[in-house]
Amino acid sequence: MVVKETVLFLLLMMLPVAMEAKGPVKPRVSLPNLSASSLAQEDDAGNGESLQEDIKEIKKLVQQKRFRKKRKTVLKLLDKLSVKAAEPCKSRVQGKVCNDIKEQADSRGDGMYLLDPDGGNQSNAFQAYCDMTSYGGGWTMCYTTDDKVKPRTEVTYSSKFPYGTDGYRTNCNNIPFTEIIFIDHQTGSKTYFKRKSNLPITAAANYGKTGSAYGLWDGVGTNKAYSYQLLICDHSFYSGFFVSGYTNCYKQCNNWCGDRKSSYFRTASTDLRYKGVAFNTNGHHPNVLGNRLISVGLR
């Protein structure tokens, strides 16, 4: 990108300027932090703020009295760079959801993207992991966990917990979806479910409703003997996305119809009788499940 090329040019330009100084100059910014690789990572992540801070530090350095020659030229170029540094943040917002990016053929493959679900002024844009390969791709991944999760309130992505590790969270509350995917990181197995009515819903508007609110779903990669139902929960008994077979009874977030037959896809309940994580296995008491790492995404 132009930003990276300009930064490299400026660094090369500053070397002779520093050599012309009367004495040794202690930089106020660590130049290794401005390497091409680190700048590329910032640029690809759409994080212009870090680059802006580096630019400010370089300006402070160049404005020292010992930097007399070419100072105006360097500062002028840095001003231009400062403007361009803001561009990656805007250009990286490529869609409201991951599937938009996929359909627009802007996909760079599986990885982090900057999304703006309301398509507004981008002030509430956020980073999310997009699975661009599973079942055709375009999945906005919501969380990875091996225990409990609260997707209604746990919505902040942290680089300390990248996708595929316990603790990954991103905001899926306002993602319209007709399909939901579950990934078992222990075995690599993947399953997704498609709403029969094909009318999109959002989690934000549907927490706590019974399974009947979303109707029946078709499963891909799981037991074909069942149609499936979805729960979107933020209840003291259970929170998270829960898909299970329909057995002549629509479930509630705290009432699972005594279903001891169908396949469950869910995180752990707060009730110790329903602990552990279920992926394509029945999770009703007295079945005892262990903790296994799963991810959930929407499309």
Q: What tens digit of pLDDT does each residue of 214-238 get? A: 999 999 999 888 999 999 999 999 9
113 touches 130 (CB < 8 A): yes
Q: Is 111 left (phi over 0), alpha (psi -120 to 50) or beta?
A: left
Question: Could you report how far apart the first and last alpha carbons of the chain are, in Å?
Answer: 30
Q: What tens digit of pLDDT does each residue of 138-173 get?
A: 999 999 999 999 999 999 999 999 999 999 999 999
Q: pTM here? A: 0.72
Tokens found for residue 274: 């329903």
Contacts of 29 (CB under 8 A, 6+ apart): 54, 57, 58, 60, 61
For residue 195, give Cα distances in angstroms to 183, 199, 212, 254. Answer: 18, 7, 12, 22
pLDDT range class, residue 193, cuts 50, 70, 90: very high
Nearest to 228 by CA among 261, 203, 206, 276: 261
Tokens of residue 171, six digits: 């905001």
> Per-residue b/e over 155-181, b at no fewer than 16 CB within 10 Å?
bebeeeeebeeeebbbbbbebbbbbbb
CB 255 within 8 A of CB 235: no
Phi-psi region of 183 (alpha: psi -120 to 50; beta: other; left: phi over 0): beta
Highest mean pLDDT among 65-79, 91-105, 114-128, 226-240: 226-240
Cα–Cα nearest to 45, from 123, 118, 113? 113
